[in-house]
Amino acid sequence: MLTESSLLLWTVIILLVAYFGVVTWIGKKGSAHSKSMNGFATARGKVSPWLVGASFAASYSSANLFIGVPGLAYQHGTSVLWYTLGCFGVSWVGLLIFAKTFWRYGKKFGRVSTVPEWLGRRYNSRTLQVIVSLLILFNVYYIVGQNVGLATIFETVIGIPYFWGIIIGVAITILYIGLGGAFAQMITDGIQGLFMALASILIFISFFWTIGGGINVFGELTNQLNAVDPNLTTFVGVDGPYNSVLAIMAVQFLLFSFILMPHLLNKILSIETEEELAPFTLSSGIVLFVISTLMVLGGLAARVLFPTLNSADSAIPMYVIESFPSIIAAIMIVGIISAILSSTDSLYLGVTTSIGNDFYKVLAPVFKKNISQAKLDLQSVKVAKGSLILVGLLSLYISLDRPDSLSILIQFSFSAIISGILAPITLGYFWKKATNYGAIAAVITGAALYVIFTQFNVIANIYLAMFFASLASFIVMGVIGLLTATEEHEELVLKKIS
């Protein structure tokens, strides 16, 4: 006779194997497609825009949203809801504002497959392309956060020690990516987004029996949180990162610009025609809404039900296995694991594509003068695929030192990237005097200041640090642009913005 926990374990294992089987099958169908650099990176034009939208939302939502942010809610209470509100509302509005112009520039440049390449074309600067591809290496910390998320799930659900959880996490991630390629990712991420939406709705429905109170279930949840600690139900946090109105505003600024993350913008570049942007943006909004706004409430419920967890990040895995029958819990756990994988694969793809496409492909001709274009393209794909293992091992090494909060680590990594690229992308949209010198200075200023602010504790709140670093980056780019712009630079801006 199976016990409850071994039933859960075996269901999780069987479902994971089945899921990997489906990915392999789809990957085989798409393998011919990922031989060229462009096919490897974006799977352009082969996937329905509705599914690309779901895949955008699935890549957006990582261990940060499913494990980390509910963990913050478990610790700090309802003030964390400002974060997930921004994840849906502000980010979606950001996508709607940025998508069309970014896509049009991509079209104007011909086949552009990555953000560093987009910036390199916009400013006609290979130096900028190489610098931004190096900045994207900060995503290794983002990947570390995903590893920690997987290890936390294995630890909570199956009881595997953290060290082995990390090793297993990295191994299945590399396996998962090796099975697919961009084509398989786009499809499995899309399916996974829908799968995750279902899990989020189940969490929402479960409050009716775990918290109770009928139609006034959230009033009941608020009362019970209040009984645990009155500080958990305030609009502005008493402690934690959301402890001032200014910090909450800075969070919205961060989430507005979050969609400029290279692994997300790459999705826009895979849309074939301008008409297809409509279903893509609508589908992104719908799926993003469901999977980003509901899960965090599970972290609040966990605080009421299990007030003494060792690690706040284990709030959601704990809530799931305690609130649902084993089979349903197993499906949801695999859903969360696949949700983490769907972000991690996009991140790995973004990092390795940048190493191949924006670093190797740009620098190799400098050292090997007479290499043919076809050979260079083939070598770049090889370098991209080879760097996958290196990035995986590096992330494994860093993961072994467990971070206090998964969310804060992940948010550090993407804030560093955004602080660097926000000014060059947004000013590049419409400002005639945006120049390559200004853009290079802005990337270095934004990223360096963010790291200095946070590492030397100049500005303790990570959101405010990001806001001020970005502001400095805009100012630097503005001043240098005004000083260096010539007619040649002004020709590069998109003429018709209707």
Partner 1 sequence: MIYTYLILVVVFWIIGLTIWNKFYKNN
Q: Given the rule CB under 8 A, which residues bind partner 1? A: 78-79, 81, 85, 88-90, 92-93, 96-97, 100, 218-219, 221-222, 233-235, 274-275, 277-278, 281-282, 285, 289, 293, 297, 300
Residue 155 Cα to chain centre, angstroms: 23
Nearest alpha carbon to residue 279 among 95, 52, 101, 44 = 52
Rounded least distance, CB 122 to partner 1, Å? 21
Nearest alpha carbon to residue 387 among 353, 339, 342, 432 = 353
| Distance from C-alpha of 353 to C-alpha of 381, rounded to nearest angstrom | 8
Rounded least distance, CB 328 to partner 1, Å? 24
Q: Which is nearer to partner 1, 92 or 183 (CB)?
A: 92
Q: Which two tokens stand for residue 219?
A: 């009033």
Rounded least distance, CB 259 to partner 1, Å? 13
Q: Which is nearer to partner 1, 191 or 300 (CB)?
A: 300
Rounded least distance, CB 304 to partner 1, Å? 12
Contact assessment for residue 261 and residue 170, using Cβ atoms and an 8 Å cutoff? no
Q: Which residues contact 148 (CB under 8 A, 6 or more apart)?
A: 63, 166, 313, 399, 402, 403, 406, 409
Q: Which is nearer to partner 1, 82 or 474 (CB)?
A: 82
Rounded least distance, CB 255 to partner 1, Å? 11
Alpha helix locations (H) across 354-461? 361-367, 373-399, 406-430, 436-455
Q: Which is nearer to partner 1, 236 or 363 (CB)?
A: 236
| Distance from C-alpha of 421 to C-alpha of 131, rounded to nearest angstrom | 11
| Distance from C-alpha of 199 to C-alpha of 293, rounded to nearest angstrom | 12
What does residue 433 show for φ and ψ, rounded to 5 degrees? -90, 15
Q: Which is nearer to partner 1, 289 or 468 (CB)?
A: 289
Q: Which is nearer to partner 1, 84 or 445 (CB)?
A: 84
| Distance from C-alpha of 164 to C-alpha of 149, rounded to nearest angstrom | 13
Rounded least distance, CB 108 to partner 1, Å? 18
Rounded least distance, CB 91 to partner 1, Å? 10
Tokens 């505003």 belong to residue:
249
Q: Which is nearer to partner 1, 300 or 465 (CB)?
A: 300
- The 3-class secondary structure across 210-257, one letter per residue, is HCCCHHHHHHHHHHHHHHHCHHHHCCCCCCCCCCCHHHHHHHHHHHHH
Rounded least distance, CB 56 to partner 1, Å? 14
Q: Which is nearer to partner 1, 292 or 413 (CB)?
A: 292
Q: Which two tokens stand for residue 52?
A: 């690309």
Rounded least distance, CB 414 to partner 1, Å? 21
In angstroms, what is the C-alpha Rg of the chain? 22
Q: Which is nearer to partner 1, 41 or 225 (CB)?
A: 225
Contact assessment for residue 109 and residue 120, using Cβ atoms and an 8 Å cutoff? no
Q: Which is nearer to partner 1, 282 or 363 (CB)?
A: 282
| Distance from C-alpha of 326 to C-alpha of 322, rounded to nearest angstrom | 9
- The number of CA neighbours under 13 Å toward the Cβ of 416 is 21
Q: Which two tokens stand for residue 350?
A: 């973004």
Q: Which is nearer to partner 1, 89 or 241 (CB)?
A: 89
Residue 189 Cα to chain centre, angstroms: 13
What does residue 240 show for φ and ψ, rounded to 5 degrees? 85, 180
Rounded least distance, CB 307 to partner 1, Å? 18
Q: Which is nearer to partner 1, 56 or 437 (CB)?
A: 56
Rounded least distance, CB 29 to partner 1, Å? 30
Q: Which is nearer to partner 1, 282 or 492 (CB)?
A: 282
What does residue 243 show for φ and ψ, rounded to 5 degrees? -100, 10
Residue type, 199: A
Rounded least distance, CB 348 to partner 1, Å? 30
Q: Which residues contact 494 (CB under 8 A, 6 or more apart)?
A: 101, 104, 105, 108, 429
Rounded least distance, CB 376 to partner 1, Å? 38
